[in-house]
Structure 1
Amino acid sequence: MSEMSARRRRRVAALLAALPLAAACASPPPPVPPPGEQARAISLPFDRYNFTPADLSVIERAEDLLVGDCMRSRGLAWETLPPSAEEDLEPPNRRRYGVVEPEVARRYGYHVAPDRPSVARRSAAGESRTASLSEQQRRAAYDERGGCLPRARARIGQGAPKVDSALFNQLITRTFEQSRREAEVVRVFRAWSACMRAEGWRYDDPLSAVADQRWLDGGPATEEEIRAARADERCKARTGLVAVWAAAERRLQEDAVRAHREAFEALKAAKDRQLETARTIIAAAR
């Protein structure tokens, strides 16, 4: 073999060896955008009585701190999870009317946007902790009879009125379905559908667009899906669909609150008491 051929082989080998390093040094994926103002602006009466993602973050943080204290009192390790930043948490009604954020439609189509950084870190830490627990730790933490987590939940719920959430869950579903049949909502659906046809898509309403089987294969958003989602979001903006639909649902929810005032007052009192207790626990741990 000539010296020239040997040198050429060494150069090719060096290039091939460098490929994984080049891939590792490639640009990281763009950061996940924060929830847009379009999603944050959707507010409904039932929000006052339900636990929002931000509320649940407070409750879960307090539970985790109590479990840590309980486990250590039993001579067992427990690594508390890092808290999620408030600005990274989902607005309560972000996907209620389908995709409403231009940036989410552009990046993810109809797929749910990935978790924001602090939420993703907490989730990953939780999975890692669960995987590393010994059988003794699992029993101490989760056993229904005297486990640290049931004890923590009982502590946070102490003093809160007992409520039956079945009626509330039924009313959430019922008022949402009723809102889709309100005359003004039917009209705006028609306007949105006509706008979508002009963009090359045939759907009767936004929920049928979200549920298109082409987007439900489990893979990442395709270019076709992204085009459809962007058209969907534009047509919502052009027709004022979200404002009309939310106004109809808001009216129906207000009627439901008036019709079941005692049940809703109990829900609000239970929610407020649990959040007050949870915040006290978190403040004491600082």
Structure 2
Amino acid sequence: MTRCRRSAATAVAGLALLVAAGCSDGPAAGSGPEAVRAPSTARPTTAQERTLLYDAEQELQRRCMRAAGFRFWAVPENPLPEARDFPYVIDDPQWAKRYGYGSLFEERIERLRAEDPNQVYLRGLPDDRRRAAIAALNGTGREGLRAELPGGVVIGHSATGCRAKAWRTLYGDLSAWYAASTLVDNLNALTQQRVTAHPDFTRTSGEWSACMRANGLPYRSPAQARAEFLGHGEARDTAREVRVAVQEARCARSSGLSSAARRLDRRLGRELRREHRAEVDLVERLRADALPRARTVLAR
């Protein structure tokens, strides 16, 4: 899987989220044949509506932290809108010509993280106050909320703290929201795993590689090309990065890799959401129910 960046919102999130992961032998919920056949019936929330919910969560956390005696600043949902996400292969030559593989965003993300007022505030607190602030936000302990992902991996989070309180205020049933939304939030990553393992993706990746070799760039996969340019700090060859990225985008189109990836992503993504229809529908219903509460929170 090739990703030009991780979510900038994740990269610059304020205080550390305490998460515990483990394993479970139980089957994933909603994975039976009936779930595969049944389409989702809930209306998907729009990007604008999800942004409204995000902003309300941030505001509720700010108020809760203030009541606990600490300061908290809302962080933008997407502070780097120009940093696009290409989960399989870069297929936009114009974007590649301007940004290459996006290595320049790594430095900007690090700067955003360093300048994040929440992190600056935390660093300025005495050790005991810093620990208390993190506990106030994330709660204490790693038990209380539980989500089982496809494959049996279990993720937990405290049911106390300002994050959990914000979720409870907006979505009502905290346990149900955490379990369903955590699973749904991971479906894109699972879709990408299925896409990259599919024979059509493997075949067109080989054709992409042949196209790159014909242009003097012997990369076996987009992931190998990406790895050459990302994660190396300031030690980068920007001119070469742009040249390789532009050629990657051209080969992605001429080889059919881009169109195959999009087709597979749509089909396998739909299948996966059908497998987990109950969780997808629950998340959308809880989001829809939360929208009036979010508007009230932000109107104050």
1:193: Cα distance to partner? Answer: 1.5
Aligned: 1:152 with 2:166: yes
1:131: Cα distance to partner? Answer: 3.2
Query: Partners in 1 of 2:259 and 2:216 — Cα distance?
Result: 24
Contact map agreement 1:82 1:122 (CA 8 A) in 2: no
Aligned: 1:64 with 2:58: yes
Unaligned runs of 5+ in 2: 1-38, 141-159
Aligned: 1:105 with 2:105: no
Aligned: 1:142 with 2:133: no
1:247: Cα distance to partner? Answer: 0.5
Q: Taking structure 1 as reference, are residues 132 and 166 closer, same or farther at Cα in structure 2, changes over 3 Å only?
A: closer
1:96: Cα distance to partner? Answer: 0.6
Query: Partners in 1 of 2:114 and 2:171 — Cα distance?
Result: 24
Total equivalences in the alignment: 234
| Aligned with residue 236 of structure 2, among 221, 244, 249 | 221
Query: Partners in 2 of 1:252 and 1:59 — Cα distance?
Result: 27
Aligned: 1:260 with 2:254: no
Query: Partners in 2 of 1:217 and 1:127 — Cα distance?
Result: 24
Contact map agreement 1:49 1:264 (CA 8 A) in 2: no
Q: Taking structure 1 as reference, are residues 207 and 73 closer, same or farther at Cα in structure 2, changes over 3 Å only?
A: closer
Read off the aligned partner of 1:153 and give its amino acid letter: W
Query: Partners in 1 of 2:282 and 2:83 — Cα distance?
Result: 25
Contact map agreement 2:101 2:242 (CA 8 A) in 1: yes
Contact map agreement 2:97 2:246 (CA 8 A) in 1: yes
Read off the aligned partner of 1:125 and give its amino acid letter: P
**Structure 1, residues 116-141: CA drift from partner, whole Å, max 9, x if none?**
89x95996333333334565586364
Q: Taking structure 1 as reference, are residues 121 and 265 closer, same or farther at Cα in structure 2, changes over 3 Å only?
A: same
Read off the aligned partner of 2:222 and give its amino acid letter: P
Which one has a bigger Cα radius of gyration? Answer: 1
Name the structure where strand makes up a greater proportion of residues. 2
Name the structure where helix makes up a greater proportion of residues. 1
Query: Partners in 1 of 2:186 and 2:77 — Cα distance?
Result: 30
**Structure 1, residues 30-78: CA drift from partner, whole Å, max 9, x if none?**
xxxxxxxxxxxxxxx99x999999777544432332233335446x463
Kindly report the root-mean-square deviation, in angstroms, between the aligned alpha carbons of the 2 structures: 4.3
Q: Taking structure 1 as reference, are residues 108 and 70 closer, same or farther at Cα in structure 2, changes over 3 Å only?
A: same
- Structure 1 segments of 4+ aligned residues over 6 angstroms from their partners: 48-56
Aligned: 1:202 with 2:208: no
Query: Partners in 1 of 2:71 and 2:117 — Cα distance?
Result: 12
SS at match of 1:88: coil
Read off the aligned partner of 2:86 and give its amino acid letter: R
Contact map agreement 2:65 2:72 (CA 8 A) in 1: no
Q: Aligned ranges for residues 56-205 of structure 1 at < 5 Å? A: 58-73=52-67, 76=69, 78=71, 80-81=73-74, 83=76, 88=81, 94-112=85-103, 114=105, 120=112, 124-133=116-125, 136=129, 139=132, 141-142=136-137, 144=139, 147-159=161-173, 161-162=176-177, 163-164=179-180, 168=184, 172-205=188-221
Query: Partners in 1 of 2:75 and 2:181 — Cα distance?
Result: 30
Map of 1:281 onto structure 2: 297
Contact map agreement 2:61 2:137 (CA 8 A) in 1: no
SS at match of 1:69: helix
Query: Partners in 2 of 1:281 and 1:95 — Cα distance?
Result: 34
Greater RCO between the two (CA within 8 Å, min separation 6)?
2
**Structure 1, residues 164-193: CA drift from partner, whole Å, max 9, x if none?**
467557754443233234343333223311
